[in-house]
Amino acid sequence: MRVLILLCLLASVSGFFIPQSLPSTSSTALSAGRVCQLLGKRPNRKARVVTFSHKRIHKVQDINLHKKTFQSDKLKRKVTLRLSTKGMKTVEKYGSIDAAAAKFGLDLSKF
């Protein structure tokens, strides 16, 4: 019994049983779920539904996201973004995806 305890103690001191820290598999860019990539709009998670019996039930109001491809004049290639409808109207307002990205600090070379 003492030999077994001694072996376990030596193994734990040498790091045999203790798992070493593994390198992180997650990348530096966080994958955001349903988020507008231009404006950063997120789903409303505080919404409530009031039933006929006046029970208040939480629900999620998702934003209206679409995959949209734009031609970037600066990058000289097409860029695909997940934008909300308000984000698409914003791009239309500024005239090009390059101008809208410059206004909101978005680096289009990552897309």
Q: For 73-96, what is each residue's pLDDT tens digit?
A: 999 999 999 999 999 999 999 999
Angle at 93 between CA 107 and CA 45, to 5 degrees: 70
Question: Exposure string (b/e) for 28-49, b if CB count within 10 Å is 16 or more?
Answer: eeeeeeebbbbbebeeeeeeee
pLDDT at 25 > cutoff 70: no
- Residue 96: partners with Cβ closer than 8 Å, 6 or more residues away: 70, 73
What local confidence, expressed as pLDDT, does residue 31 receive?
A: 55
DSSP state of 16: S
What local confidence, expressed as pLDDT, does residue 20 receive?
A: 47
pLDDT band at 33 (very low <50, low <70, confident <90, very high): confident
Domain edges within the chain: 34-106
**Digit-coded pLDDT (tens) for 47-73:** 999 999 999 999 999 999 999 999 999
Instruction: Determine what percent of the chain falls in helix, strand and coil, rounding each to the nearest 5.
Output: 30, 25, 45
What local confidence, expressed as pLDDT, does residue 47 receive?
A: 96
CATH architecture assignment, domain 34-106: Roll (2.30)
CB of 82 closer than 8 Å to CB of 41:
no
